[in-house]
Structure 1
Amino acid sequence: MLTDRFSLQSLIRTEAASPAFVFDGTPVSPAEFAERIEQTAAWLAAHGIGRGDVVAVWLVNRIEWLALLFAAARLGAVVAAVNTRYRSAEVAHLLRVSGAKLMVVEAAFRSIDFAAILADIAKDEVPALRQLAVVGADAIPAHWPCVRFDAFERPYPPAPPTQDDIDLPVLFYTTSGTTKGPKLVAHSQRTLATHAASIVQALKLDPQRHSLLAMLPFCGTFGMTSLLGFIAAGATIHVLDAFEAAPAAKILSACRITHSFGSDEMFRRILALTDAPRPFPHLEICGFAAFQPGWRELAAEAEARGMSLFGLYGSSEVQALFSIGRGSDAFADRIEGGGWPMSPDAKVRVRDVETGELAAQGVSGEIEISAPSRFLGYFNNPEATREAITADGFFRTGDIGHLRGDGSFVYETRAGDAMRLGGFLVAPGEIEDELKSCAGVADAQVVAVNLKGQARCVAFVIPAGEPPRQDALTAHLRERLAGYKVPARIYVVDAFPVTDSANGVKIQRARLRGMAMERIAAE
């Protein structure tokens, strides 16, 4: 039998007085949302989707996206979330690995030409795909037959009875890309619903008092997890189809939003639009992921203007909002990545990457997590799943951090970005912060390279006005840091190489390492 408490359907509070969602000013009540789910389940069933079938969803943030996820759960099917930033190779990889039979796709959105991207994919690259369903048009130019997604426009025969296995996959997220392409992270209704309930309890969400601005894409865990938490709370969710600072600022102010989650760059852009000393007085929590240099300075400015930023931690494998800072934390602690796990049943430990032993509090190592929010595994990739999960069920995050000793932890950096210098594990941010305190330095990034058989760090700085002299910067660092942390080279650049992700703009540290080696070789 279906364990209602752990189903996605159980999250919908149809008795709630507040709207479930507001899309572009149009409210959708919980009852209307439940009806949309039934309509979508009927539509999917009429188009041959049933238990175990995979539907790829390539949409911006719209009610159809959510109805498809909940309807798939109703039928025992699976949604594969497609990042709207993906291009042909990435879309083809996801379709091929997931085995999706059907893709629901936008007709068009702003500058994204979905049809042109699909035209670059050969039919034999994705043999399982049978059909496209188009939102907003009858068809788009494509190699596959097209139908209109008209679930809300005309009736279909009712869907079969609700499926009863809440531990089967229901949603695939994609991991960050690798040379072999992204892996598909499988979650069940149980992992999604239990984590949503944990968020409600940890954040003490009150449907009468709290509301969410959803400005992150639903295709990623950061956007989806925050959304599910507020659905579970019965609180109103105002949705942006895609992030833009001006509409976000307008909704934050006009709708008295209390919570929002996003990247540091999103909040930076929102704050830059207004000179008001306290532009968003109703905001209580802004959970942010630090992807850009200068995030500490941003947090301080935001704090002074009444926008409290909270550091957090998450991943596709353990879901976003796995943990977050607390209002009772000291400001410097509250804005650090990591924080306190949402679930009382979550366990976090740190393993010394050199010895393989568990590390004491304050000692940096790889973060390992056991929690009800943990993924089922990587879809159709048992080898990668075995490598990622320990014998006692902890997920090896590939992130470096340390325990504080009070139940919270600190995320420092990705394991690939951490530097082993002078025999010690060093987070690049420590050196970057010192560089940014120097006159003439606007931003800094530090990477490790192999220099004459030794691991050394190299810095790239963006000047503030007249470019600073390397010898002056080096002298300052020698006074402030251990010798092994002082960069072997400091290069001045106009900008850092960046890449767009579903959740924001990120520095391409691998490219920086390549640039460092190229410049050293040229010497």
Structure 2
Amino acid sequence: MDDGSKKALLSYDHGISSEPLIGDTLGNYFEKIVAERQHADALVSVQQNIRYSYIQLLERINLCASGFLRLGIERGDRVGIWSTNNAEWIVTQLAAAKVGAILVNINPGYRTSELEYVLGQSGVKLLVVIPKHRTSNYLEMLEELAPTFFVAGDKSPCDKLPNLQNIIVIGAHGKLPGRLLSFDQVTAMGSELEASALKEREKQLQFDDPVNIQYTSGTTGLPKGVTLSHHNLLNNGLLAARAMNLGPDSRFCVPMPFYHCGGMISSALATISVGGAVVIPSPFYDDTAVLTAVQQEQCTHLSGVPTMFIGELHHPEFDSFDVTSLQGGFMAGAPCPVQLMRDVANRMKMQQIVILYGLTEASPLMTATTCNDSLEIRATTVGRVIPGIELKIVDAQTGEVVPRGVQGEICSRGHGVMLGYWNNPQATAEAIDKSGWLHSGDLGVMNADGFINITGRKKDMIIRGGENIYPREIEEVLHEHKGIAQAQVFGVPDARLGEEVSAWIMVKQGEALTPDEVREWLKERVAYFKVPKYVKLVSEFPMTVTGKCQKFVMRDMMAKELGLEASMPTA
């Protein structure tokens, strides 16, 4: 193709492959992998000292799935999991899939009000939970929402969560209060059920059935439940594996949280889809644990957001760890500095590291660089559209496809597009147009060779260390404070996390408030990563002549005040 032909191209592309898509359920496909990889390592949880071969993992999954059947889980019921990374997370995910349930991923950082909304909106029937995480006592929070579960002999429904019927506790020691069950009790219940019952349930399932709900914050302030099918997850995971050249001998260290697509699909499921070994270094990210797991388990691949790789590279004892087994992996979730990409490739020996781009609503992968792309391409673009997906870049005002080299909104269509937002047809219609195109809200440019550069975001979303944060959600909580008249939340640059949360607040007349008091008040009401690092009390906001707040002006002013201008993105 000559240069003239390239310049005439529109920003449309589709991924091609000689490999067909998989038309199967997660449970059926997993059993095919088990048949090929019976005694190979499937799952290693380092800090739990757990090691399952594929046949052992299948046995554990089947016991859990049978336990779910005995607890009355029907096809289409929602099974929630509120937990950090552990072996039980993977077991629960695949057990829920085998019985036709829909796994609801719950962010471990949620506070009580956020938990109540997600459990209620999705109608979770059975909840799998760890007892606590960091400073959050999950069981105390659940007792506040569902007190009858903690009273012996009280089988009355919960007023706040009428659909909830069972709470299962991972790693429980000793007698649990009320009608709570331990994870081991559930698997023991499963051993008492005939295997034919589970097989009969699996025969009823279709690969287009919903199998997962992941909540992503919305500009309305309320999280939206992205609903994904077996087909969505399985094909997206396998295509992530292909981008990274994963195979049966791959040993993938996964520090990314399973409640996110990056950990659950692009890391763990990608590895399982090719019969490799998933290695869990720790319940939550810890740079020492990651480096220890890589050395101890001779991991070949590693994933993370840029912040994680920075932490590993800057570890004071980095040079004492043997990371020579590493070959590749992926970086995603935030813009990747070019120098960081080079350091990861060279110092961490990850010469085959790739960049993955997408969003939860796309299962999540839309584009990827590959191991065959040059390091420069992998460091400066998010790659090309993956097989089986169409991608176009459109003018945000007219909806017309723009010429290559022109910025517009990134849209995708194909096997990755979600089924919709759970019980939210209006939001679904706003995200997926009548022609089936998913509108990402991200701005980007497609070059003549089809590589994509992300240039910005249509909305004000903040990406802090890979966490997507929508300002309005925090603003609505702040507006509940009796001393706050108005609040505006926005992102400011941060060299380590990509962005930090900042808030400008107007205090009501006659009220006294300090930035520290605002932060402390918020800590009890929103996840820790949503609490603004910077809080400024102001008497007014910069406004347009029509009365709209100018967040970009606030962002620029705050960056200048904090001495962050050098980190500001350029046009």
Q: What TM-score, normalized to structure 1?
A: 0.76
Residues 121-130 or 48-57, more deviating: 121-130
How big is each residue's C-alpha offset from its partner over 1:92-127, in whole Å with a ceiling of 9 and x where there is no partner? 111111011111111234433102322443643322
Q: Identify if the C-alpha distance between structure 1 residues 114 and 314 changes in structure 2 by more than 3 Å, giving closer, same or farther.
A: same
Say which SS state the counterpart of residue 252 (structure 1) adopts: helix
Residue among 168, 172, 182 paired with 1:148: 182
Match of 2:426 in 1: 383
Give the whole-Å Cα distance in 1 for the aligned partners of 2:491 and 2:294: 38
Match of 2:260 in 1: 220
Shift of 1:275: 4.9
Shift of 1:139: 6.3
Would you say 1:11 and 2:15 are equivalent positions? no
Flag structure 2 segments of 5+ consecutive residues without an equivalent: 1-20, 147-157, 462-489, 496-518, 537-549, 562-571
Q: Which amino acid aligns with 2:299?
A: I
Give the whole-Å Cα distance in 2 for the aligned partners of 1:128 and 1:397: 32
The equivalences for 1:191-340 within 5 A come to 191-208=232-249, 210-225=250-265, 226-240=267-281, 241-273=283-315, 274-276=317-319, 280-289=323-332, 291=334, 295-305=337-347, 306-308=349-351, 309-336=353-380, 338-340=382-384
Q: Identify if the C-alpha distance between structure 1 residues 519 and 408 changes in structure 2 by more than 3 Å, giving closer, same or farther.
A: closer
How big is each residue's C-alpha offset from its partner over 1:275-321, in whole Å with a ceiling of 9 and x where there is no partner? 539952332223112537x8334224334423445322021111234
Q: What TM-score, normalized to structure 2?
A: 0.70
Residue among 24, 44, 58 paired with 1:22: 44
Contact 2:43/2:277 (<8 A) preserved: yes
Match of 1:451 in 2: none
Match of 2:510 in 1: none
Contact 2:216/2:225 (<8 A) preserved: yes
Say which SS state the counterpart of residue 219 (structure 1) adopts: coil
Q: Which amino acid aligns with 1:7?
A: T
Contact 2:258/2:264 (<8 A) preserved: yes
Match of 1:395 in 2: 438
Q: Identify if the C-alpha distance between structure 1 residues 156 and 336 changes in structure 2 by more than 3 Å, giving closer, same or farther.
A: farther
Q: Which amino acid aligns with 2:431?
A: A
Contact 1:133/1:148 (<8 A) preserved: yes
Say which SS state the counterpart of residue 169 (structure 2) adopts: strand
Shift of 1:261: 1.3
Give the whole-Å Cα distance in 2 for the aligned partners of 1:519 and 1:205: 43
Shift of 1:460: 6.3
Q: Which amino acid aligns with 1:338?
A: V
Query: What's the RMSD between the two structures over aligned residues?
Result: 3.6
Match of 2:88 in 1: 64
Give the whole-Å Cα distance in 1 for the aligned partners of 2:277 and 2:130: 25
Q: Identify if the C-alpha distance between structure 1 residues 338 and 318 changes in structure 2 by more than 3 Å, giving closer, same or farther.
A: same
Contact 1:280/1:307 (<8 A) preserved: no
How big is each residue's C-alpha offset from its partner over 1:54-103, in whole Å with a ceiling of 9 and x where there is no partner? 11111222222222222222222111111111111111111111011111
Contact 1:78/1:170 (<8 A) preserved: yes
Give the whole-Å Cα distance in 2 for the aligned partners of 1:71 and 1:278: 36
Residue among 137, 149, 170 paired with 1:135: 170
Shift of 1:417: 4.4
Say which SS state the counterpart of residue 88 (structure 2) adopts: helix
Contact 2:109/2:528 (<8 A) preserved: no
Say which SS state the counterpart of residue 186 (structure 2) adopts: coil
Q: Which amino acid aligns with 1:229?
A: A
**Residue identity (%):** 28
Q: Which amino acid aligns with 1:326?
A: T
The equivalences for 1:162-177 within 5 A come to 162=202, 163-177=204-218
Contact 2:73/2:101 (<8 A) preserved: yes
Contact 1:6/1:194 (<8 A) preserved: no
Q: Which amino acid aligns with 1:113?
A: N
How big is each residue's C-alpha offset from its partner over 1:387-416, in whole Å with a ceiling of 9 and x where there is no partner? 111222111011111112323322222222
Flag structure 1 segments of 5+ consecutive residues without an equivalent: 419-457, 464-496
Q: Identify if the C-alpha distance between structure 1 residues 386 and 359 changes in structure 2 by more than 3 Å, giving closer, same or farther.
A: same
Q: Which amino acid aligns with 2:192?
A: Y
How big is each residue's C-alpha offset from its partner over 1:12-59, in whole Å with a ceiling of 9 and x where there is no partner? 411214211111243201111111121011111111111121111112
Q: Which amino acid aligns with 2:319?
A: A
Figure out how many residues of one structure are paired with residues of the other and give that number. Answer: 444
Shift of 1:217: 1.3
**Bigger relative contact order, structure 1 or 2 (CA pairs below 8 A, ≥6 apart):** 2
